[in-house]
Chains A and B, each alone.
Chain A
C-alpha cells in the first residue's frame, strides 16, 4: 500500500505536536519570555516557504512583489528573533557578574 502524502504529513503534524508539548512543558517560567521570542524566531521558517514561492518561474509582476515582500518579512522575523533571544539569554546569570557599568 502506498500511503498518500497528506496522511504522512498529518502523521508528522501530530508527532510534532506531542514533541512540542513534551519539550516546552520543561521550560521554567523564568524563561518564558525567551521561549516566546525563540519560538518567534522558529516560526520564521516560513521564510523557506517565501523563498520557494518567490523562486517559482513565470510569475506576474505583482505576485513576484508579493512573494518578495514575504521574503523580506520572513528574513526580518528570523534574524530579529534569533538576535533578540540571544541578547536576552545572555543576561541570565547564576551569579552576579563583575560590575563593569
Chain B
C-alpha cells in the first residue's frame, strides 16, 4: 500500500467518524460520545495531512497551530451559554475565513503555470473565495448584532437591494473574468474584498429576531466553502465533511423558516422588525390605554403556589437576563409543593435553533421536562398557569387570527388556552420583531413588569412566604 493510499484510508476513517458523530446526535444520551468520536476523526485527519509527501514548513505550521489552539479552547470554555449564538456565529466566520484564504493561497500556487487553470479547479477556487468571504464577513456582522455591538434592528437605506444585486453581479463577472482571462492575483483579491463587503451588506438589513435563520444559513455557507476547497485540493474528506455541514445548515434553515411560516426570501430580504417611524410609541400608548393588568409578585406567587399545573414558556428575555438558574429554582420550589412544572419550547425561541434547551439544560432541568411545540400545545387547556418569561412573538395570538399581522400564519404556543397567563416582561415595548401582542390585553393575562431575573427572584421569595 502506498503512502498516499494509507493517507486516503485515514481520511476515510475521518469521514466515518464525522458521520457517526452526527448519527449519535439523535439522542442526548449518545451525543457526547459522538462528539468525541468526531474530535478523534479530526485528529486523525490532521495527523494524516502532516504525513503527506512533499509537505514543507512543518515547524511554522505546528507553531501556529500550537498558538491558536488554546485561543479556541479558551473561548469555548469561557463563553456563557446565553452567548452561544454569538459563539457559533464567530466559529462560522472563522471557518469561512479560513476557506477563503486557502482559496487565495492556492490560486497563487496554480496561477503562474502556463495556460489556463483547469475549469473545475478554477470554479472551485472562485466559489471557495466567494462563499467563504461572504460567510466570514456575514458571520462577523451577525456576531456584532447578537453581541449588541451594532443595532439588532434591520439597517436599511434607499437602493439597498439594487446595490446588493449589482455587487453580486459584479462579483460573478470578476469570477468569470478570472476564469477566462488573464489570471491576475489582483482580481482574486478584488473578488475576496467584494465578497467581504457583500457579506456585510447582506446581513445588515436582517433583524435580530431572524438570527436563528441567518446563523444556520451561514453555517451551511461555511460548509459549502469547505467542500469547494475540497474540489480545489482534490481531497474527498473536505468535500464530504463540507457537504455534511452544508446539508445540516440547509435543513435547519428550512426548519426555522417553516417554524416562522416565512419563506427564506422573506427572512433575508424582508428587513423584518423595522421600526416604522411614529407607530411604535403610539401603539404602546394605545395598548396602555386598554386594560393591561399588572400584578405584583405576591399575586403571581399565590397563583403559582395553588396551581396544579404550570407551564413555563421561555424566550430570549430569559437568556438576556440570565434567569435560567432562578427559573429552575422557582420550579423546584413549586414542585416541592406538588405543582407539576413543564417547559414549552418554541422552535424559534431565542437567537438560534434549540437555544432555550441549552440554557435550561445548563440550569439542570432534566430534558424530559422540555416539551416541543406540538406536544406542548394540547397541554395548555389543562394548564392552570402559563408563565411566559421573556417570550413575545412566539405566543402572539395575532399569528392565528390577524391576517394583517406580519407574523400571521406562524405556528405559536397557545398559552391563551391556559386558565391564567402570567407574562414577565421588562416593559410594554414591543418585542424584537416590533409587533404588538394582544395576548397582553387578554382578560386572563396579568403582567409582571421588570427584569426577568429580578422578577423570578421576587417570585421565589413570595412563593416561600405563601
Of B24-32, B142-150, B291-299, B448-456, the one with at least 4 CB within 8 A of chain A: B24-32
Give the chain B neighbours of A75 by CB distance below 8 A: 64-65, 68-69, 72
Q: Is the interface of B mostly helix, strand, loop or mixed?
A: helix
The size bracket of the interface on B is 35 or more
Whether A16 contacts B240 by the Cβ 8 Å rule is yes
Closest to B45 in A: A48
Whether B219 contacts A80 by the Cβ 8 Å rule is no
Whether B252 contacts A36 by the Cβ 8 Å rule is yes
Which of A19, A44, A53, A81 makes the CB contact (< 8 A) with B106?
A53
Closest to A33 in B: B354
Whether A70 contacts B91 by the Cβ 8 Å rule is no
Whether B25 contacts A67 by the Cβ 8 Å rule is no
Give the chain B neighbours of A25 by CB distance below 8 A: 251
Whether A92 contacts B367 by the Cβ 8 Å rule is yes
- Contact of B237 with A by CB under 8 A: yes
Whether A33 contacts B84 by the Cβ 8 Å rule is yes
- Contact of B344 with A by CB under 8 A: no
Whether B98 contacts A93 by the Cβ 8 Å rule is no
Given A40-B92, A51-B49: A79 touches B38 (CB 8 Å cut-off): no
Q: How far is the CB of B39 from chain A (nearest CB, A)?
A: 4
Q: Is the interface of A mostly helix, strand, loop or mixed?
A: helix
Could you tell me the distance between the alpha carbons of A29 and B358 in the complex, rounded to whole angstroms? 11
Q: How far is the CB of A20 from chain B (nearest CB, A)?
A: 3
The size bracket of the interface on A is 35 or more
- Contact of B445 with A by CB under 8 A: no
Which of A53, A77, A86 makes the CB contact (< 8 A) with B72?
A77
Whether A6 contacts B120 by the Cβ 8 Å rule is yes
Whether B88 contacts A37 by the Cβ 8 Å rule is yes
Whether B101 contacts A67 by the Cβ 8 Å rule is yes
Could you tell me the distance between the alpha carbons of A68 and B347 in the complex, rounded to whole angstroms? 39
Which of A39, A57, A85, A90 makes the CB contact (< 8 A) with B249?
A39
Whether A28 contacts B26 by the Cβ 8 Å rule is yes
- Contact of B302 with A by CB under 8 A: no
- Contact of B99 with A by CB under 8 A: yes
Give the chain B neighbours of A85 by CB distance below 8 A: 35
Given A36-B216, A49-B230: A73 touches B55 (CB 8 Å cut-off): no
Whether A29 contacts B38 by the Cβ 8 Å rule is no
Could you tell me the distance between the alpha carbons of A80 and B76 in the complex, rounded to whole angstroms? 5
- Contact of B195 with A by CB under 8 A: no
- Contact of B244 with A by CB under 8 A: yes
Whether B31 contacts A51 by the Cβ 8 Å rule is no
Could you tell me the distance between the alpha carbons of A23 and B105 in the complex, rounded to whole angstroms? 34
Give the chain B neighbours of A56 by CB distance below 8 A: 56, 105, 109
Given A54-B57, A70-B101, A70-B102: A48 touches B239 (CB 8 Å cut-off): no
Give the chain B neighbours of A42 by CB distance below 8 A: 18, 21-22, 38, 42, 223, 241, 244-245
Q: Provide 30 A-B residue pairs closer than 8 Å at the C-beta atoms, listed in order of the A residue.
A: A16-B239, A20-B243, A20-B244, A24-B248, A29-B353, A31-B28, A33-B355, A35-B354, A36-B215, A36-B249, A40-B245, A43-B95, A45-B238, A45-B241, A48-B46, A49-B229, A51-B50, A55-B61, A63-B108, A63-B109, A67-B102, A68-B60, A72-B67, A73-B98, A76-B75, A80-B72, A83-B77, A88-B84, A93-B364, A94-B368
